[in-house]
């Protein structure tokens, strides 16, 4: 239940800025934008540079939000459910025949022809909860050779690692490629990361009879005033340069005129969007309002509460303690304290706490170096909590 917030104290606002500033620098995070909102108060800090040696970050600077795309995709899915174009527990075969009559690997390291029949079809709910039987698992990072990973890479699905709009084929080819592979687990058996949201993107486009970018624009972005959220931007003067950490400092991996400056062949519904702090605040405000005119209260509840069984979590996660104190709703984490949200591995985070009427958005351009969010995100979120009056 949402409890009206008391606002942000002056000292709390100052502390948010101090914590954020402590993480900004050429060898740390070149630039960031932070938004904290509670009780009608909205505080924003824009610090540092869009690129090393470049112009200053501004409130309306654009960042690659990567996996923060996922809850947006979930919301669009629930809009189409309300329109009667999809049903949560309907098999996806009607619109995605490429995924009918699945085969499943006997074990994760098996050869691609060492399979058994799927025990049931994949449903829309499976995609939303990441229990569709395909996706990233912590076992895949052990250094062992996995034929399924090699096949995914050959097909340029960009499904088990960072987003890569430069390599992914157009949606029909992408889903045909995925459909040519066996599942990693039985549908509904375990939580596996990322791929479910990518498949949702193809499903939404086919259900609506329009490209995914148009579905998101017409159903969400335009009604909510999310004017800067899309799969690319031509306003490259506002787009931060992407960096990853290296032994000798930060290394540029995507310039403003790079992969997010032009329409991708595949609109990646798991990790493909760019956005701003104000756009993500608008999205959060809609959820805090119980869906407003966009979603039903029941849809928001489903998106923001635990949807996994103990058994699904037991073999899932991106690390041994991944589900400690948390679970998964529809395309995002939900925490035992009632908060929800998700991080973008290219350097962003988004947290909503209805019980404290709090929204925290942190946008940076430095890629995460593990499944755990870096200190800049953790410490800014903690400062935001302490800022509530």
Tell me: do 236 and 378 sit in the same domain: yes
- DSSP character for 236? G
> Which pLDDT does position 3 carry in this prediction?
53
Can you give the CATH number for the domain in which 38 is found?
3.40.710.10
> Which pLDDT does position 1 carry in this prediction?
45
Pick from 183, 24, 161: nearest CA to 99:
183
- DSSP character for 331? S
> Which pLDDT does position 341 carry in this prediction?
98
Answer yes or no: are the C-beta atoms of 371 and 319 closer than 8 Å.
yes
Q: Domain total for the chain? A: 2
Give the residue from 191, 208, 225 where a domain finishes. 208
> Which pLDDT does position 5 carry in this prediction?
60
Give the residue from 174, 208, 242 where a domain finishes. 208
Tell me: do 187 and 271 sit in the same domain: no
Pairing of strands 333-335, 31-38: unpaired
**Mean pLDDT (10-residue bins), the chain, 389 residues:** 72 98 95 97 98 97 98 98 98 98 97 98 98 95 90 97 96 98 98 98 98 98 98 98 94 98 98 98 98 96 97 89 95 97 98 97 96 95 96
* HSE (side-chain half, CA atoms, 13 Å) at 379: 12
Indicate whether 3 belongs to any domain.
no
Residue range(s) defining the domain that contains residue 239:
10-64+210-386
* HSE (side-chain half, CA atoms, 13 Å) at 112: 11
Give the length of the chain: 389
* HSE (side-chain half, CA atoms, 13 Å) at 81: 24
Give the residue from 208, 231, 263 where a domain finishes. 208
> Which pLDDT does position 142 carry in this prediction?
80
């Amino acid at each position: 239940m949402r409890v009206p917030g008391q606002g942000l104290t002056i000292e709390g606002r100052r502390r948010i800025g101090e914590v954020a500033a402590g993480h900004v620098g050429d060898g740390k995070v070149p630039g960031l934008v932070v938004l904290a909102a509670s009780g009608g108060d909205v505080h924003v800090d824009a610090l540092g540079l869009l690129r090393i040696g470049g112009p200053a970050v501004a409130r309306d600077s654009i960042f690659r939000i990567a996996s923060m795309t996922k809850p947006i995709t979930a919301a669009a899915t629930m809009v189409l459910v309300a329109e009667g174009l999809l049903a949560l527990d309907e098999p996806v075969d009607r619109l995605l025949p490429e995924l009918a009559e699945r085969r499943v690997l006997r074990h994760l390291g098996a050869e691609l022809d060492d399979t058994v029949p799927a025990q049931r079809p994949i449903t829309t709910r499976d995609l939303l909860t990441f229990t569709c039987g395909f996706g990233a698992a912590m076992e895949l990072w052990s250094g062992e050779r996995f034929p399924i990973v090699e096949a995914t890479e050959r097909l340029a699905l960009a499904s088990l690692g960072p987003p890569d709009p430069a390599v992914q084929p157009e949606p029909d080819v992408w889903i045909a490629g995925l459909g040519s592979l066996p599942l990693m687990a039985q549908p509904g058996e375990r939580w596996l990361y990322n791929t479910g949201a990518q498949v949702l993107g193809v499903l939404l486009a086919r259900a609506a009879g329009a490209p995914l970018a148009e579905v998101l624009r017409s159903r969400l972005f335009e009604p909510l005033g999310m004017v800067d959220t899309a799969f690319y931007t031509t306003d490259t003067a506002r787009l931060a340069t992407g960096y990853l950490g290296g032994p000798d400092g930060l290394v540029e991996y995507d310039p403003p005129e790079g992969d997010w400056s032009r329409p991708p062949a595949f609109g990646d519904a798991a990790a493909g969007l760019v956005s701003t702090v104000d756009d993500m605040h608008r999205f959060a405000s809609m959820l805090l309002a119980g869906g407003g005119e966009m979603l039903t209260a029941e849809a928001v509840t489903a998106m923001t509460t635990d949807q996994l069984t103990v058994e699904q979590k037991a073999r899932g996660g991106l690390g041994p303690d991944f589900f400690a104190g948390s679970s998964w709703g529809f395309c995002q984490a939900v925490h035992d304290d009632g908060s929800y949200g998700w991080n973008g591995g290219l350097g962003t985070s988004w947290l909503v706490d209805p019980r404290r009427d709090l929204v925290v958005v942190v946008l940076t351009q430095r890629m995460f170096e593990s499944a755990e969010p870096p200190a800049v995100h953790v410490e800014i979120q903690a400062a935001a909590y302490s800022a509530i009056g």
